[in-house]
Structure 1
Amino acid sequence: MNKTVWMYIFSGGFVLSAALLGLFVSSVSFPLTAVLDVLAEKMFGSDIFGHEGSSNIEVIIWEIRFPRVLLALFVGASLSIAGASFQGLLRNPLADPYTIGVSSGAALGAVAVLYFQISIAFLGSYTLPVVAILGGFITMMIVFIITRLSSRDLNIETIILAGIIISAFIGAVISLIIALSDREDMRQILYWLMGNIGMRGWSHVQLIVPFFIVGVILLLSRTHDLNAFALGEESAGHLGVNVQGGKVLILVGASLLTGASVAVSGSIGFVGLVIPHFVRLITGPDHKHVLPLSMLTGGGFLVLADLISRAIIAPKELPIGVITALIGAPIFAVLLVRERMRKG
């Protein structure tokens, strides 16, 4: 079997193992049979081992741990496939939702909803993710407008530089909102900004799922376009790719995933940067494999990061964004150095 097949096997096993660890390992331990019986009873209507469990076990497993694991899977998968798409579209391994400003815009939209208590009548509970997605998309458009005004050919380095500038400005606006908040709102916003999926339930899973499905379908349908963009937009056009239409669909799909992830979990960095880079080093540049493998690996990675965040100083928890940065930054530095040394 070639490396790509092995990578699919590894990624599938990695996601499954991470999910099981997320369910079984915590400050409160339950027998394996009890956990499996709760899941079987809730999902299929009958248990497996006939274990007599208490209502406390059901609440902890089904209402707390299981939705938390699912949310980590969805957020990690969303950020990873969005990062892989941005990197493919912009032909730069440093591109991801955070470096080009999409996550900052989404965070500003979400913080505005939290601070001003915005609720759009016809959206209801979907107000937060929708405003976050709009914030990310508008920010991305501003980045491209700035890039177009300063570089006619949409230079990749200029896009990233514009993203960093806009992110810095948005960071200042968010800091201003925090400074104007009372102590309780300030604590809530700061903790949310550091990235966190604790104390989330099925409602948050339900919020991200529709955006996840639409975003993933859009991006997976554009793998041929992303492969063509690697040769340059002019060459992609000669290969029959609808350049403008393909770019719009990729940007919309990646923005949907990023905005929805930020809305339910806050800002979690390095997932969309490190995971696609790691996958690409092993499988090569074909986005037909890079996108789904990044999605699987990123989901498993964030589940493990969440497990570390709640186990390392138990019973207290660290923000998951802190863990991903502590793990992701050194790994990405090593990958960059190795890649530079390989190219000589």
Structure 2
Amino acid sequence: MRPVLTPRALFVILSLALLLALWLSLALGPVSLPLGETLRASLRLLGLPLAGDGQAQAELILGQIRMPRTLLGLAVGAVLALSGVAMQGLFRNPLADPGLVGVSSGAALGAAFAIVIGASLGGLPDALSPYLLSLCAFGGGLGVTAMVYRLGRRDGQTNVATMLLAGIALTALAGAAIGLFTYLADDATLRTLTFWNLGSLNGASYTRLWPLLIVTAGVALWLPRRAKALNALLLGESEARHLGFEVERLKRELVLCTALGVGAAVAAAGLIGFIGLVVPHLVRLLAGPDHRVLLPASALAGASLLLFADLAARLVLAPAELPIGIVTALLGAPFFLYLLVRGRA
């Protein structure tokens, strides 16, 4: 299938979409800010000595509330989309999802443990509260992914089909454990756990943001260096080996990269579905399967889509706020069904 857009046209469109999403995310909310005021306040926050009166409120809103939330949405969307590309390349299936290796369910299990056990012990210490939930979620995601990878190894080789089945089994087991924690939770803890599982950018802070930014930067810098290897893997493992690529090493790196990226994203924002499935597939339909284009384009598209979804979550039922996982599911599930119908045709 021929690409609909050239790479240059695609990157121009996605860059403009991301700039629009950034501006709207910073400007719109319970207190809407004009474009000029948003730009001036943002530049002043960056340290530029711009003259202006009456900017204190705008700087406070942007600096303490909207800037960390916007950066969180940008990082989560980009890293989820990149992880989706990695998993679709690993399984050589455009309908693969990062959750197939168990990282999302493992992170949810770690978060459920932190929320419920922490509450039963009298609450989390104030000094550890900003980090303990994220660390448990991140550790849970890495732990389950390591188990999936270990079960998929045999005789020094990684069997992708076995790894997929192990991921399904461990995801079900983690779901049962989360159900047990849900049963044991009291009303207040149950509400916290429920909203965390639905995903949200609400409550974003620089404390929660900087570990995710480091992981996202690492994933975004590393994955494009494996674009040629991913292209070769599309031909099959044997063909990729004949072309000189270390397939087993590539598999390990893809699994580790996905575990780090999705684990950090889930730890920072909760469970947000369909970004890692829909975005890479949509970009592939527009620009083709070349990972040299697919990886950076998916990062831009994922960041833009999540920021637009967050805008919808904030504004549709204002002053109330929808969990962003509901919005992404409402957008992603119909598209997924469309892909299934299209595949049958």
TM (normalized to structure 2)? 0.89
Does the Cα contact within 8 Å between 1:218 and 1:250 map onto a contact in 2?
A: no
1:315 aligns with 2:298: no
Match in the other structure for 1:25? 28
One-letter code aligned to 1:325: A
Structure 2 counterpart of 1:115, one-letter code: V
1:245 Cα deviation after fit: 1.4
Residue 71 of structure 1 corresponds to: 72
CA RMSD of aligned residues (A): 2.5
Alpha-carbon distance between aligned partners in 2 of 1:256 and 1:126, rounded to the nearest angstrom: 16
| Structure-to-structure mapping, 1:258-273, within 5 angstroms | 258-273=262-277
Counterpart code for 2:85:
A
1:2-13 maps to which residues of 2 (within 5 A)? Answer: 3-13=6-16
Q: Deviation at 1:189? A: 1.3
Deviates more, 1:134-143 or 1:13-22: 134-143
Displacement of 1:131: 3.8
Which structure 2 residues correspond to residues 268-279 of structure 1 after superposition, within 5 A?
268-279=272-283
Q: Kindly provide the CA deviation profile for residues 100-134 of structure 1, in whole angstroms up to 9, marking residues without a partner as x.
A: 322111221233233334989xx995554444333
The alignment partner of 1:197 has SS state of coil
TM-score calculated relative to the size of structure 1: 0.89
SS at 2:317's partner residue? coil
The question of 1:335 aligning with 2:336 is answered no
Among residues 198, 219, 226, which one is paired with 2:223 in the alignment? Answer: 219
Distance 1:130 1:230 in 2: 35
* Distance in 2 between residues matched to 1:295 and 1:143, nearest whole Å: 26
What is residue 138 of structure 1 aligned with on the other side? Answer: 143
Distance 2:114 2:343 in 1: 41
Q: Give me the whole-angstrom Cα distance separating, in 2, the residues matched to 1:276 and 1:307.
A: 21
Distance 1:44 1:85 in 2: 37
Q: 1:252 aligns with which of 248, 251, 256?
A: 256
The Cα shift of 1:148 comes to: 5.5
Tell me, yes or no, if the aligned pair for 2:41 and 2:55 is still in contact at 8 Å. Answer: no
For 2:17, the aligned partner's letter is F
Alignment match, 2:52:
51
SS where residue 221 of structure 1 aligns?
helix
Cα distance in structure 2, aligned partners of 1:64 and 1:124 = 19
| Matched residue type, 2:206 | W
Q: Give the CA deviation at 1:32.
A: 2.2
Unaligned runs of 5+ in 1: none
Please give the alpha-carbon distance, in whole angstroms, between the structure 1 residues aligned to 2:211 and 2:146: 24
Q: Does 1:106 align with 2:107?
A: yes
- Residue range with higher mean Cα deviation, 297-306 or 38-47: 38-47
Distance in 2 between residues matched to 1:127 and 1:218, nearest whole Å: 28
Q: What is the identity, as a one-letter code, of the residue corresponding to 1:28?
A: V
Cα separation, partners in 2 of 1:116 and 1:220, compared to 1, 3 Å: farther
**2:173: which partner in 1?**
169
Residue equivalent to 1:41: 44
Q: Kindly state the Cα deviation for residue 246 of structure 1 after the two structures are TM-superposed.
A: 1.5
Do the aligned partners of 1:76 and 1:271 also contact (CA within 8 Å) in 2?
yes
Uncovered stretches (5+) of structure 2, i.e. residues with no partner: none
The residue type equivalent to 2:180 in the other structure is L
Q: For 1:142, what is the secondary structure of its paired residue? A: helix
Partner Cα separation in structure 2 for residue 102 and residue 165 of structure 1: 13
CA distance in 2, matches of 1:213, 1:119: 30
Specify the code of the residue in structure 1 equivalent to 2:114.
V
* AA partner of residue 66 (structure 2): R
Q: Could you tell me which residue of structure 2 aligns to residue 202 of structure 1?
A: 206
Matches of 1:218 and 1:165, distance apart in 2: 30
Give the C-alpha shift of residue 203 in structure 1: 1.7
Shift of 1:57: 2.3
User: How far off its partner does 1:143 sit?
Assistant: 2.8
Worse overlay, 108-117 or 288-297: 108-117
Residues 133-188 of structure 1 show CA distances to partners (whole Å, capped at 9, x for unaligned) of 33223322333444568xx97254x5444423322221121121122122222211
The worse-fitting range, judged by mean Cα deviation, of 14-23 and 304-313 is: 14-23
Q: How many residues align?
A: 335
User: What secondary structure is seen at the aligned counterpart in 2 of 1:30?
Assistant: coil
The answer to whether the Cα contact below 8 Å between 1:219 and 1:249 also exists between their aligned partners in 2 is no
**Displacement of 1:83 after TM fit?**
0.6
Q: Is the 8 A contact 2:14 2:301 kept in 1?
A: yes
Distance 1:235 1:124 in 2: 49
**2:8 equivalent to 1:16:** no
The equivalent residue for 1:235 is 239
Q: Which amino acid aligns with 2:185?
A: S
Q: CA deviation at 1:335?
A: 2.9
